[in-house]
Amino acid sequence: DGGITQSPKYLFRKEGQNVTLSCEQNLNHDAMYWYRQDPGQGLRLIYYSQIVNDFQKGDIAEGYSVSREKKESFPLTVTSAQKNPTAFYLCASSPFRGTGGTEEAFFGQGTRLTVV
């Protein structure tokens, strides 16, 4: 079945450590996104990538890094520079090239990151 897989579902990190969240899609989508969700804040864009080997900062990129070495994969690293990393993280993908703007964005099931 086609879809987006995020792993792990729950992740615990000690303060000062970097941690990487995995996101893999088999939908052959060009574009991929990372969002952060906090209570009462909706979803905020961290990074996005339109094609392989290219990515752009979103609204809250500080303390995060990404890579896009393969079309299927868009991992997010939460670095020790992120002051308040405890949150729910969602990865999404959508078609990009040659398509209209009504294409649905598909989401993974999320990763809950907790700093201990």
Partner 1 sequence: AQTVTQSQPEMSVQEAETVTLSCTYDTSESDYYLFWYKQPPSRQMILVIRQEAYKQQNATENRFSVNFQKAAKSFSLKISDSQLGDAAMYFCAYRIILRGYALNFGKGTSLLVTP
**Which of 21, 66, 90, 113 is the binder for partner 1 (CB under 8 A)?**
90
Considering only residues 35 to 74 of the shown chain, the ones binding partner 1 according to CB under 8 A are 35, 40-45, 48-50, 56, 58
Q: What is the layout of strands, in order, in the sheet containing 64-66?
A: 4-7, 19-25, 76-78, 64-66
Q: How many residues bind partner 1 (CB under 8 A)?
A: 28
Residue 89 binds partner 1 (CB under 8 A): no
Residues with Cβ within 8 Å of 99's Cβ and at least 6 positions away in sequence, in order, are none
Tell me how far apart the alpha carbons of residues 70 and 74 are, in angstroms, rounded to a whole number: 8
Per rule CB under 8 A, is residue 88 in the interface with partner 1? yes
Q: By the 8 A CB rule, do 66 and 89 touch?
A: no
Shortest separation between residue 61's beta carbon and partner 1, angstroms: 12
d(CA 34, CA 89) in angstroms, rounded, equals 7
Binding site for partner 1 (CB under 8 A): 31, 33, 35, 40-45, 48-50, 56, 58, 88, 90, 92, 94, 96, 100-105, 107, 109-110
